[in-house]
Structure 1
Amino acid sequence: MIEVSAPARICFYGDHQDYLDLPVIAGAINRFIHIKAIPNEQSEFRILLADLGEEKVISIHDALKNISNGDYFRSGISVLKTYGFKFKRGYTIEIHGTIPLNAGLSSSSALMVAWIRFLIAIQEEPKQVNNATIGQWAYEAEVVYFNQPGGLMDQYTIAQGGLLYINTKTSESTPLKSSLRKLVVAESGLPKRTLDVLKNARVYAQKGIEAVKRATPLFNLHKASPEDYEKYLNIVPEEFQSHWYATIFNYNITLKAKKELQKPIPDVEILGELMNQHQAILQENIQNTPVEMTKMMKAALKAGALGTKIIGSGGGGCMVALAKENQKEIMEAFMTHGAKAAYEVELTTIV
């Protein structure tokens, strides 16, 4: 039997920045997608999605033409074939997990990473592939293959584990101290609107940046500071100014969080405040946070959370709270204000 797993992920700082080639700070948590597989004699992958009660069948001889949007099993096979992988026997595969679906914890990317790991594991000639490369291949299969608007944060974080500062321009990852130890995740029960939110946020941010670059060709976003927001504001068309603000100040928050997390003993209260500042921008400028979730997060802060934010692209889904020692009170606050579920999670290096 072959068994592989991949964790969920939380972006703590830098949401809606990776598709602008700006850095993010994200971590893998102890919620997982699990794949178990045994060989069969049918020359096909028989995939049972246990949590959904669905089954998919893919012939190992599938020509992989006209792959439907979102068919990550076939896109994963197709991408690996371009790197010389071959598939010569079938497997009966069961997939199940503890990651809530369509909730912002990146269950789809966890599935993609786990699937890539499985496809590597079944090669007749063993191939040594590092975690960063697995993240890249998963990104190619999930985002690039279907020309979707997301960045590479999810796949890179899930494939490498731990808490990472990811330079999305160079694809370099820097491990950070795991000071974000006491975490609570709450499920709002509201479905997220990933592609709509991502598309709008990406297009508006890019158009704001393009306006600045047209007027000032030497402008370098990676050297931008908060002062540049006001400096170039009159150049940016009014409809993109809110996202221009989000671009500049979210970047600054991420750099501050990185600096704090690189200290011998990071200050969790500072990290909590930076999380709150980030959420304020997501809520007011990118406008990805429903009113119901705002009320839940305010309740968590009142219960003693140091910081709270929405997870993922937004529009619904999950929230995270950074705690000191009061996780139980925070979970109760989320639940009494409408959350579907709330539980403690931990950062994990298990991949």
Structure 2
Amino acid sequence: MIQIKVPARVCFFGDHQDYLSLPVIAGAINRYINLEAIPNQLNSFRLDLLDINEVVSIAIDEDGYNVKNGDFLRASLAVLKQKGLKFQQGYSIKIWGDIPVNAGLSSSSALTIAWIRFLVAIQEKPPPVSDFEIGHWAYEVEVEYFNNPGGLMDQYTIAQQDLIYIDTATGKSEVLAGNLGQLVVAESGLKKQTMSVLKNGRFYQENAIKEVQQKNPNFNILRSTLEDYERFKHLVSKEYQNHWYAAIHNYQLTKRAKKLLGEPNSNLEELATVMNAHQKNLYERIQNTPEEMHSMMQAALEAGAIGTKTIGSGGGGCMVAMVNSNTKDDVIAAFKNAGAKNAYEVTLTKKG
């Protein structure tokens, strides 16, 4: 029997930045997708998706043409075949987990990575594949294969685990020595609007940057400073002003968070200040936070959380809160009393 376990992820800093080739800070958490597989005689992969009570059958010789957008299982098979992997044996597969679906913890990327790890594991002579390569293959499947909006944070974080800083311009990752203390995740119960939020966030930020570059060809967002916001904002159309602010300021917040997390004993109060500033930009500038979730996070802060923010693209889904042992239970209760579907403590996972 083949057994594979893949974690969820939380983005702590840099939301809506990776598609601008700006860095992000994210970590894998102890919520998982599980996969178990045994050989069959069907010449197909029979996937029993237990959590949604659905069965998917994929012939091992499928050609990969006309794959529907969002069918990451068949897209993974097509991409790996392009890379020279071969499939000669069918398997019966069970998949389940405790990552909430469509909630911002990247259940889809976790499933894709579990599936890719399985497809590598069943090779007659499994090739040496790094965690970085697994993450990049998943990015090819979910973003490039379908020309979808989005970045590489989810796939790279889940594949590599740890608390990592990802330079999305190069794909290089750096494990951070610091920590964020105790963490609580809350499920809002509101369905995420991933594609529409990502599309708008990317479109407006990219257009704001392009307008600046039209008059200042040497402007590079990777070399931007806070002063650049005021210096160039007169060049940005009114409809893109909020996203121009977010592009500049969230980048600086992520760099500040990296510096704080570079120390083993991170200053949690300062990190919480950065997190709250980031969420303020997501709420007011990117406008990815429904009022219901804003109210839930305010309730968590009043109950003792020191930092809160949405997770993922936004428009619904989950939230994360920085807490301590004295406030954890009160924050969990506050989230639920404010309307959250569920709330619970999570911890960051490590490789191995």
Deviations 1:184-237, CA, capped at 9 Å, x for gaps: 000001001000000000000000000111110111211111110000000111
Residue 91 of structure 2: aligned partner: 91
Residue 57 of structure 2: aligned partner: 57
Distance 2:286 2:160 in 1: 28
Aligned-residue offset at 1:147: 0.8
- Kept in 1, the 8 Å contact 2:178–2:264? The answer is no
User: In structure 2, the residue corresponding to 1:169 is in which secondary structure?
Assistant: coil
Deviations 1:53-88, CA, capped at 9 Å, x for gaps: 000101111122100111111100111111110001
Q: Give the TM-score taking structure 1 as reference length.
A: 0.99
Number of residue equivalences:
351
User: In structure 1, the residue corresponding to 2:196 is in which secondary structure?
Assistant: helix
- Residue 2 of structure 2 aligns with an amino acid whose one-letter code is I
- Residue 347 of structure 1 aligns with an amino acid whose one-letter code is L
Residue 339 of structure 1: aligned partner: 340
- Residue 248 of structure 2 aligns with an amino acid whose one-letter code is I
Distance 2:193 2:94 in 1: 28
Distance 1:86 1:153 in 2: 28
Find out whether 1:138 has 2:132 as its counterpart.
no
Residue 33 of structure 1: aligned partner: 33
- Kept in 2, the 8 Å contact 1:181–1:346? The answer is no
Aligned-residue offset at 1:116: 0.6
Distance 2:157 2:124 in 1: 28
- Structure 1: 4+ residue segments shifted above 6 A: none
Residue 48 of structure 2: aligned partner: 48
Aligned-residue offset at 1:181: 3.3
Deviations 1:235-260, CA, capped at 9 Å, x for gaps: 11111111000000000000000000
**What aligned pairs does 1:1-351 form with structure 2 within 5 A after superposition?**
1-325=1-325, 326-350=327-351
Please provide the CA RMSD for this pair.
0.8
Structure 2 unmatched ranges of 5 or more? none
Deviations 1:13-37, CA, capped at 9 Å, x for gaps: 0000000000000000000001100
Identity %: 56
Distance 2:50 2:264 in 1: 44
Distance 1:290 1:48 in 2: 34
- Residue 139 of structure 2 aligns with an amino acid whose one-letter code is Y
Aligned-residue offset at 1:178: 4.3
Distance 2:39 2:166 in 1: 37
Structure 1 unmatched ranges of 5 or more? none
